[in-house]
Every structure is written in structure tokens, then in C-alpha cells.
């Protein structure tokens, strides 16, 4: 990964956006150093190991533990997790919308976490998975995940459906996955992420 892409991944979060407000969010979390530690894809199907079973259990608990969270499709791959989650209000499911950046909401900033926000939810998920995996493999304190993760505010139904399709077909297209150390991204893979990143800049 070149320096430009590393910088983009670190700065992808929208400035002054309230990541605790109702809405739909696309999340990607990668294993430390992109290591394929969560299983294998064989003939287009993901085969879990003991580590990915922990990831699956804890991801599902994300909604079980929080009344304001609903999970949509997700997939665990050999070295990453993709998932869509909704933060909902007391009236029901969160709605998709164009991310406002000209308002003054309570927002996540370094050292000032917002309760119930996406960063807090993902932080808790990563922490408990790391603890359980390290206990299983007897490696206390060892990293399991990349320090950062990728998040995207889903604006409309069309975008939601495109991301759902990408997630559902992820294991079938593992040979083209940009997270696959041995993968060779094809035009469809490049197009999805190019459009996705372009939308994030708007």
C-alpha cells in the first residue's frame, strides 16, 4: 500500500460528522498486517476457524447488547470483516441521508469519545475479539486488528444495495479482492472502490 492510500485510510472520517446519529454505516475492519488468520476461502466459500467464530459471535452481539443498533448483511473473510449496521432512534430504523458537515453536532474527536457512536461500538468489538483470540492462542497483548478501520455513511437505497451486493459476493470474488495478499483486483473491484472513495470526498 502506498503512502497516499495509507493517508486516505487514516483521514477518511468526515470532519465534524456525528457518528452517533441515526443512519446506515458500512464498516470494514482488517486483521493486523492483513494476515489471513480468520480462515480460508475454498471454491468461493468462506470456511471459518476458531478465530472467525469468535468474530462472528461478537459481531452479532453488537446488536444484542445495544437497543439502538440493527445489523444488516455482513461477511467475515480470511483477513477482514465487512458489515452494514444501522443506528436507530427510538422510533425505529435509521434513515439514510447525505452526510451533513455544516452543522454543529456532538462529534467524535481524539480523546473525546461520544457514547453510542460508531467509533465506540467498533472499539468495543475489536477489544473483546482481541482479548478472546489472544487468550485462545496464548499471545497476551498481541495485535489482532489494524489500528484503524474503514467507515462510510450510506446515503441512499442505491448505495445500500451496491454495498450489500459487494458484501454478499465477497467470498465468490476473493481472487479479485484488494485485501487478498495474492489477489489481482479486476475492473469491477477497482470500479467499486473508486466510486466509493470518490463519493466519500463529496
Domain ranges of the chain: 3-200
pLDDT in tens, 11-32: 344 444 455 667 899 999 999 9
Contacts within 8 Å (CB) and 24+ apart, 106-115: 106/18, 106/20, 107/16, 107/17, 107/18, 107/19, 108/13, 108/18, 108/19, 108/20, 114/18, 114/19, 114/20, 115/20
In the predicted model, is pLDDT for residue 38 greater than 70?
A: yes
CATH number of 3-200: 3.30.70.1290
Q: What is the pLDDT of residue 114?
A: 73
Q: What is the pLDDT of residue 194?
A: 85
Q: What is the pLDDT of residue 202?
A: 33
pLDDT in tens, 96-143: 444 443 334 444 444 566 777 899 999 999 999 999 999 999 999 999
pLDDT in tens, 143-189: 999 998 998 899 899 999 999 999 999 999 999 999 999 999 999 99
Query: Sorting pLDDT into bands at 50, 70 and 90, what band is 33?
Result: very high
As a whole-number percent, the residues of the chain with pLDDT over 90 amount to: 63
In the predicted model, is pLDDT for residue 190 greater than 60?
A: yes
Question: Mean pLDDT over residues 50-74, rounded?
Answer: 95
Amino acid at each position: 500500500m502506498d503512502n497516499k492510500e495509507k493517508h486516505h485510510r487514516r483521514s477518511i472520517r468526515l470532519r465534524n460528522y456525528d457518528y452517533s446519529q441515526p443512519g446506515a454505516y458500512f464498516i470494514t475492519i482488517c486483521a493486523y498486517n492483513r494476515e489471513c488468520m480468520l480462515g480460508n476461502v475454498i471454491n468461493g466459500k468462506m470456511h471459518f476457524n476458531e478465530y472467525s467464530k469468535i468474530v462472528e459471535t461478537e459481531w452479532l452481539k453488537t446488536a444484542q447488547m445495544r437497543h439502538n443498533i440493527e445489523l444488516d448483511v455482513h461477511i467475515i473473510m480470511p483477513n477482514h470483516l465487512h458489515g452494514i449496521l444501522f443506528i436507530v432512534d427510538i422510533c425505529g430504523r435509521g434513515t439514510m441521508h447525505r452526510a451533513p458537515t455544516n452543522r454543529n453536532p456532538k462529534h467524535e474527536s481524539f480523546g473525546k469519545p461520544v457514547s453510542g457512536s460508531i467509533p465506540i461500538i467498533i472499539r468495543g468489538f475489536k477489544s473483546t475479539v482481541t482479548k478472546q483470540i489472544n487468550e485462545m492462542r496464548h499471545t497476551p497483548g498481541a495485535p489482532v486488528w489494524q489500528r484503524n478501520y474503514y467507515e462510510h455513511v450510506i446515503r441512499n437505497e442505491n448505495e445500500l444495495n451496491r454495498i450489500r451486493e459487494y458484501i454478499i459476493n465477497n467470498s465468490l470474488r476473493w481472487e479479485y479482492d484488494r485485501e487478498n495478499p495474492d489477489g489481482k483486483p479486476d475492473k469491477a473491484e477497482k470500479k467499486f472502490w473508486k466510486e466509493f472513495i470518490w463519493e466519500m470526498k463529496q
